[in-house]
Structure 1
Amino acid sequence: MKFSANLGFLWTEHSLPDAIRAAKAAGFDAVECHWPYAVPVGEVAAALEETGLKMLGLNTRQGNPGENGLSALPGRSKDARAAVDEALAYAAALNTPNVHVMAGFAEGPDAHAAFVDTLKYASAKAAPLGITILIEPLNSYAAPGYFLTTTDQAVAIMDEVGADNIRLMFDCYHVQLMEGDICNRLTKLMPKIGHVQFAGVPSRGEPDQGELNYSFIFDHLKSLSYAQPLGAEYKPSGPTDASLDWMASLR
């Protein structure tokens, strides 16, 4: 298997360009991040070119403290669209293929309508750039009140948006906590999946700890012909370099 280092959690003591270099030195095949906007895009591009790594994805901004995304917030359409435009411009400059549009803390039919409207806007703006829009259900233990919580809800929204370039971010950590049945869900949802992430459950620590057998899950992904780098989005229990023993056994 190929692995992508999520630099939102790994090597956070480094600048983003130096974290990219650390991921290369550790043997990762790609990188991804959360919110890179404080770093000039040219510095990130230079680190990617130097290492030969690809930036697979990044997120739209979280918004104000306590919002965790803007796209499903009623009355915030202008801000949500601005966040989409910013993320697409940054991604396009790096040749990054995926942008995760964050929903935010919201509920109810108005939130649903706002999210669908933002996603229609985002997918239309992303299409000419060759960028895929991702949406990700978050578990209600780690992110109580987040609008998008299950894969069924995500698929229904994707079908309502009706765009060819919107896909599911399948994070095994979140899906296990909310729904379980990981391998059957991967089989069923594979035509809808744009990216797969993983972490130990329930701690969100190293993936060789906890209740999920990632060796089995990764073999299942191989059987489904999934060949893209898998996103290591876990919170290391200590220094990142000391947390990577799982790479040899799971690769």
Structure 2
Amino acid sequence: MPRFSANLGFLWKDIALPDAIRAAKRAGFEAVECHWPYDFSTDSVNQALNDTGLPMVGINTRLGINGIDDLGVCAMPGREAEAKGYIDEAIAYAVAIGCRNINAVAGKTGSTDEAEAVYRRNLAYACAEAAKHDKTIVIEPLSHRAAPGYHLSNVEKGLETIKAVGVANLKLMFDVFHVQVMQGDLIERLRATLPHIGHIQIAAVPDRGEPDQGEVNYPDLLAALDDMGWDGYVGAEYHPRGTMEQGLGWLKAYQ
């Protein structure tokens, strides 16, 4: 059975990150991940990780000076210095808290060729710096429904980018919600791309709630992942429909 990681960008987001880590432990998660931990000191996050024994398995680079209107800058022409600053910051933070993956957030670019060239150069830089600390850079296709205009929106384009950069520590973040919205054929797509996947995330489709209803049959999908030999974590990145505690029945069912 997969080991589940609580995405604290969406879960327990109304409390401070160190407290959310402790809440995830009490709920039965085996790891945590988050989006942007930078408002909290690495000491306070490390204390919570040490207290719980949970690993932090992923963080993101910052969104950019315009926040959600940027949705990252790693593929933004003319903003390479800003992107490198965010990459350096994320790697340093990941090293300090023992985090495995760093998601290099691309930005809303219109997916131009120029933007893709910038993305590949910035990813090559990020991977070279991350490799010094045995860290992995991941890139995540986002659906147009959730992120209109985002640079990367399908798995195959992500694989093209990964192969073009050509380094071992660049991997794909396979978010089942986004891939189902854009492409579907989830199990076969997972099987075909598994060697290039660094992390997997789940949520219900279409409402992005708890992974216990909707059009994705998660018991079958997670069983297929087991059969494929996936030994990483599966990130629970969903918007609770009610309270956090009311929505944890899906996790208890797997436990």
Asked if Structure 1 and Structure 2 have the same fold, meaning a TM-score greater than 0.5 normalized by the shorter chain, the answer is yes
Match of 1:124 in 2: 128
Quick one: distance in 1 between partners of 2:193 and 2:149? Answer: 24
- Cα deviation for residue 248 of structure 1 reads 2.3
Hey, which bits of structure 1, 4+ residues long, moved more than 6 A? none
Residue 205 (structure 1) aligned with residue 206 (structure 2): no
- Equivalent residue letter for 2:56: M
TM-score, normalised on structure 2? 0.97
Match of 2:109 in 1: 106
> Superposition pairs for residues 1-251 of structure 1, below 5 Å?
1-63=2-64, 64-65=66-67, 66-107=69-110, 108-251=112-255
Quick one: distance in 2 between partners of 1:48 and 1:41? Answer: 10
Quick one: distance in 2 between partners of 1:78 and 1:118? Answer: 10
Quick one: distance in 2 between partners of 1:230 and 1:22? Answer: 18
- Equivalent residue letter for 2:130: A
Deviations 1:108-138 (A, max 9, x none): 1111111111100000000010000000000
- What is the number of residues matched between the two proteins? 251
- Cα deviation for residue 239 of structure 1 reads 1.5
- Cα deviation for residue 169 of structure 1 reads 0.3
Deviations 1:73-102 (A, max 9, x none): 100000000000000000000111100000
- Cα deviation for residue 250 of structure 1 reads 3.4
**Over aligned residue pairs, what C-alpha RMSD do you find?**
0.7
Please give the secondary structure, in 2, of the residue aligned with 1:240: coil
8 Å contact from structure 1 (residues 155, 168) kept in 2: yes
Quick one: distance in 2 between partners of 1:235 and 1:181? Answer: 23
8 Å contact from structure 1 (residues 214, 250) kept in 2: no
Deviations 1:157-212 (A, max 9, x none): 00110111000000000000001000000100001000010000011111002100
Which runs of 5 or more structure 1 residues have no equivalent in the other structure?
none
- Equivalent residue letter for 2:175: D
Quick one: distance in 1 between partners of 2:213 and 2:254? Answer: 12
Q: Which moved more, 1:141-150 or 1:236-245?
A: 236-245
- Cα deviation for residue 13 of structure 1 reads 1.2
- Cα deviation for residue 228 of structure 1 reads 1.6
Quick one: distance in 1 between partners of 2:21 and 2:205? Answer: 26
Please give the secondary structure, in 1, of the residue aligned with 2:29: coil
- Equivalent residue letter for 2:39: A
Which runs of 5 or more structure 2 residues have no equivalent in the other structure?
none
Quick one: distance in 2 between partners of 1:179 and 1:4? Answer: 24
Percent identical pairs in the alignment equals 48
